[in-house]
Structure 1
Amino acid sequence: MLKVVLMDDDVSIPSAISGTQIQGVLFNELVTKFSDSLLLHKTYRISSVTVKDVNPIYRSVHKEYELKFLNNTLIEVEELEVVSLETINFNFVDFKELNKYTDAKENMDALGIVIEVSPTLNICKKNNKGTTKKREVIIMDMSSRTTTLTLWEDLAENEGNFIMELIQERPIITVTHVAINTYKGLSLQTQKGSTLQINMDIESVKALRHWSKENINNKDIRSLISSTKDQKFNGAEKVKLQDIIGKSAMSFEKTNYCFEATIRNVVNDREPFMMIVKVRSMEHIATLATLTVFNDCQTLINCSLYDLLQLQIEDMDEFSNKVTSCKGKSFLFLVKIDNTQQQVVKTYFAVEELKELTLDNGSFHEEMRYAKKIKIEK
């Protein structure tokens, strides 16, 4: 299957909305037939297509309709540039106000200069139904705020590789139909129907390039990346572990909190999908708790879930050693509070590793003798 995003510019009709976009879908042999005929930023006259309703399960560039290409579809190249890129009506999000877009119904786009790009990761899908590709890109807009943009599937592999090659030039990317990701704080992610273009020839990109030359070039990139991690919490209140445990649902005024803790033991060293860890408060050594952390092996043990599953098949002892390699390390944890149920539900995420603490075995066992062990709600 091949999807293309088309835009019209009917200047012959004064009342027409310039820059209306619609998605075109090609199946099976039509992908081979037309893939070389449809080039980016070229103008075509297309006839004999079917107009169909959009599947409500998936977001599309048009709220109601999409085009289905047929065997008798005719594609003719227009010699003159009828459609200008400047007529595209983008709805760029403001990075410093991502919380305002969490319940947005309209399509959203993102424009940012690339600060950092990570390698592609193989991620296991839900219920272990195969794998998909993921890549994280840190971008900045003209508000001087950075955010993480997660690219999925082909965008992670194809466009992500181009961005990686151009990273020294700090490319500017334009991404359509992004979504707010609330999994660990607030960030952006692509979805089905998203498109990504690098260094588009439009005024918004030119303005951001001019701004970046005056505001970014002399800045410490590491500080920009660090600020991204801080902003990702979106106002999560930093507390101590003992502030989280044992509180009733009515005691929590916010939904996001973060705290620092050191992992003292891994309870389930044979389970890849979730890690049950015993942690110690970094501020109060007598406070111990048990946390259930889902799908965070990349942060905890620097290993993707996909690679961990492969290791489980090949060498169970090595798998166990890998899972327990986070013992003795300290992390910043994010906890999301759901107090809408009868019993408060706390969901934990490992956000980043902190400086490792050095405690000898004797002092650790001395702590264990007097520590108050508390089971945290899952």
Structure 2
Amino acid sequence: MRDTLFGEQIDGFKKALMLNGHYEIANAPIKPCEEQWKFTAADLDYQMTFGKPTIVQPVDGSSSPPLPQYRSIAQIPKTADPNDKYDIVAVVLFVEEEPRRIQRDQGRVIYVREIVVIDHSTEQPLLISAWSDLAENESDLLLQKAEQLQVVAFTALKISPHKGFSMTTTMSTTIDHSPVGDRPRALEDW
């Protein structure tokens, strides 16, 4: 189920919710979702609303985020279930200068920016389409360091048929500008 946080809510819940975490959420009303706020036809017909009385508790008693399951680009199947998500660590080769505006139904505008990455498992670079906030704020940070090679981690990417084999960000995608672990270290040495 989707919930969108605005303004101060983002900072308020940033530390309470971790990607792939399991939570008990109380005092978050569920109501029908208006069609204009759905990103795809597969989105649920309901949305959750967070507010000041909302309480978020980790179910497993742990508040530390689970570690991403990084895959090399070559390990990602070219055809997969459209709901499968993948975590990768790669070297950023290119970031589109400005995000493009896409006009959606009912006059809504969203932004997309292309990012090209590679890792040592393949000679074929991978195109990632970053959407919404990731096309703006996070991609701006990548663009600022575009002159130097950056090892960056992307979580929860989906396969996209756009321009051949490529990937796209999702509502769950995060971009880690300073990933840690064996895979990021191996790419830095590469």
Q: TM-score range by the shorter chain?
A: 0.5 to 0.7
> Percent sequence identity over matched residues?
16
Listed as ranges, the matches of 1:243-282 within 5 Å are: none
Aligned to 1:163: 142
What amino acid is aligned across from residue 116 of structure 1 in structure 2? F
Task: Return the offset for 1:99.
Answer: 4.4
Whether contact under 8 Å (1:150, 1:188) holds in the other structure is: yes
Listed as ranges, the matches of 1:148-227 within 5 Å are: 148-200=127-179, 202-203=180-181, 207-215=182-190
Q: Report the CA distance shift for 1:102/1:129 in structure 2 as closer, same or farther (over 3 A).
A: farther
What amino acid is aligned across from residue 123 of structure 1 in structure 2? R
What amino acid is aligned across from residue 34 of structure 1 in structure 2? Q
1:208 alignment partner, SS class:
helix
Deviations 1:135-173 (A, max 9, x none): 111112341442111111211110000111123443332
Q: CA RMSD in A?
A: 3.9
Listed as ranges, the gaps of 5+ residues in structure 1 are 1-22, 60-64, 77-81, 216-378
Aligned to 2:3: 25
Find the aligned partners of 2:101 and 2:13 in 1 and give their Cα distance.
31
Normalised by the size of structure 1, how large is the TM-score? 0.37
1:159 alignment partner, SS class:
helix
Find the aligned partners of 1:51 and 1:141 in 2 and give their Cα distance.
43
Residue 117 (1) aligns with residue 102 (2)? no
Deviations 1:169-218 (A, max 9, x none): 43332222212121221111113332222213x32xxx234323432xxx
Whether contact under 8 Å (1:98, 1:186) holds in the other structure is: no
Find the aligned partners of 2:146 and 2:138 in 1 and give their Cα distance.
12
Q: Report the CA distance shift for 1:108/1:208 in structure 2 as closer, same or farther (over 3 A).
A: closer
2:42 alignment partner, SS class:
coil
How many equivalent pairs are there? 173
1:57 alignment partner, one of 38, 42, 51: 42
Residue 36 (1) aligns with residue 21 (2)? no
1:83 alignment partner, SS class:
coil
Find the aligned partners of 1:194 and 1:213 in 2 and give their Cα distance.
22
Find the aligned partners of 1:127 and 1:70 in 2 and give their Cα distance.
28
Residue 84 (1) aligns with residue 64 (2)? yes
2:121 alignment partner, SS class:
coil
Q: Which has the larger radius of gyration?
A: 1
Q: Which has the higher contact order (CA 8 A, sep 6+)?
A: 2
Task: Return the offset for 1:130.
Answer: 5.0
What amino acid is aligned across from residue 212 of structure 1 in structure 2? L
Find the aligned partners of 1:174 and 1:213 in 2 and give their Cα distance.
12
Find the aligned partners of 1:37 and 1:127 in 2 and give their Cα distance.
31
Find the aligned partners of 1:196 and 1:138 in 2 and give their Cα distance.
14
Deviations 1:295-351 (A, max 9, x none): xxxxxxxxxxxxxxxxxxxxxxxxxxxxxxxxxxxxxxxxxxxxxxxxxxxxxxxxx
Whether contact under 8 Å (1:181, 1:187) holds in the other structure is: yes
Residue 103 (1) aligns with residue 81 (2)? yes
Find the aligned partners of 1:122 and 1:26 in 2 and give their Cα distance.
22
Deviations 1:239-260 (A, max 9, x none): xxxxxxxxxxxxxxxxxxxxxx
Q: Report the CA distance shift for 1:74/1:124 in structure 2 as closer, same or farther (over 3 A).
A: closer
Residue 69 (1) aligns with residue 47 (2)? no
Find the aligned partners of 2:47 and 2:151 in 1 and give their Cα distance.
29
Find the aligned partners of 1:214 and 1:208 in 2 and give their Cα distance.
10
What amino acid is aligned across from residue 10 of structure 2 in structure 1? S
Deviations 1:116-141 (A, max 9, x none): 21212323336794543221111123
Which has the larger helix fraction?
1
Find the aligned partners of 2:130 and 2:80 in 1 and give their Cα distance.
18
Aligned to 2:26: 48
Whether contact under 8 Å (1:99, 1:186) holds in the other structure is: no
Find the aligned partners of 2:136 and 2:158 in 1 and give their Cα distance.
19
Q: Report the CA distance shift for 1:36/1:99 in structure 2 as closer, same or farther (over 3 A).
A: closer
Find the aligned partners of 1:107 and 1:178 in 2 and give their Cα distance.
5
Find the aligned partners of 1:58 and 1:144 in 2 and give their Cα distance.
34
Listed as ranges, the gaps of 5+ residues in structure 2 are none
Task: Return the offset for 1:39.
Answer: 3.9
